[in-house]
Amino acid sequence: MLDYRSMFNLSGRTALVVGAASGIGEASAQGLAAFGARVVAADLNLAQAEQVAAGIVAQGGQAQAVAVDIRDSASIAAALEGLGAVDVLVSTPSINVRKPMLEISDDEFDRVINLNLKGTFMLLKAVARGMAARGRGSIIVFSSIRAEVVEPGQGVYAATKAGLRQMVRALAAELGPSGVRVNAVAPGVVETPLTAPIKGKPDWYQAYANKSILRRWAQPSEMVGTVVLLASEAGSYMTGGIYFVDGGWTAADGRFSPPL
């Protein structure tokens, strides 16, 4: 009989979490370590990534930190050097420029595209090659509800998140025969450094809270269950999917609650 309790066990696996210095990446690193993975906390902010790794070790887990800039293929290669086989990749880095599309400069467009889309593309290529050669692996890319729904000022960011969704599907189709699974997680509004400016504007913050069915923002820790599921044998038949962890944001109209 199958031991269902062991399906989430990540012991003996190496998980590379990119963007691990804060927010969803930090929580993902902590969660994967809690289920037994050896975590490599990678971030442009090496000092903060080292603190995250040290915190994991202090709790009895296995972790180390590396510096990486996913906009630079040489930096990605350097970060991977000496890590050995990577069994799980979690990619979280994103930036946003909130402006009407007609006001976004070419440089601002390039800055968002180069990190969110091109940087993720280069990271996936670098890690997925080894996974495909070994015939196993799980790749988890963070997209967003903005891959599905959008609002004024989010055009370029949304385009990158929709692009990641299709990139994940294509890569899943290409790597499925090699035993590598590729999935995307699409959060709603999560309290992270990226969304911190909104918290200082109570009307805006509350409007976003009210849009979800649960009537609140998410915490980064609430993304961890989906990450662990997709990383582990519990998600062994899940690939090419986008999994909305959005408190019901995309499920409900949200404009008006009729009297019932």
Local confidence pLDDT in tens for the 260 residues of the chain: 889 999 999 999 999 999 999 999 999 999 999 999 999 999 999 999 999 999 999 999 999 999 999 999 999 999 999 999 999 999 999 999 999 999 999 999 999 999 999 999 999 999 999 999 999 999 999 999 999 999 999 999 999 999 999 999 999 999 999 999 999 999 999 998 878 888 889 999 999 999 999 999 999 999 999 999 999 999 999 999 999 999 999 998 877 777 88
pLDDT at 260: 83
pLDDT at 71: 98
pLDDT at 126: 98
pLDDT at 170: 98
Q: Which residues pair with 244 in a beta bridge?
A: 186
pLDDT at 112: 98
pLDDT at 205: 94
pLDDT at 204: 93
pLDDT at 229: 98
Q: Looking at this protein, which amino acid is placed at residue 12?
A: G
Strands lying side by side in the sheet with 180-187: 62-67, 38-43, 14-18, 88-91, 137-142, 180-187, 242-245
User: Annotated catalytic, 157?
Assistant: yes
Q: Which domains, from first to last, does the chain contain?
A: 4-243 (3.40.50.720)
pLDDT at 253: 83
DSSP character string of the chain: ---GGGGG--TT-EEEEETTTSHHHHHHHHHHHHTTPEEEEEES-HHHHHHHHHHHHHTT-EEEEEE--TT-HHHHHHHHTT-----EEEE-------S-GGG--HHHHHHHHIIIIIIHHHHHHHHHHHHHHHT-EEEEEE--GGGT---TT-HHHHHHHHHHHHHHHHHHHHHGGGTEEEEEEEE-SB-SGGGHHHHT-HHHHHHHHHHSTTSSPBPGGGGHHHHHHHHSGGGTT--S-EEEESTTTTTS--S-----
Q: Active site residue: 157, 205, 208, 243, which one? A: 157
pLDDT at 2: 87
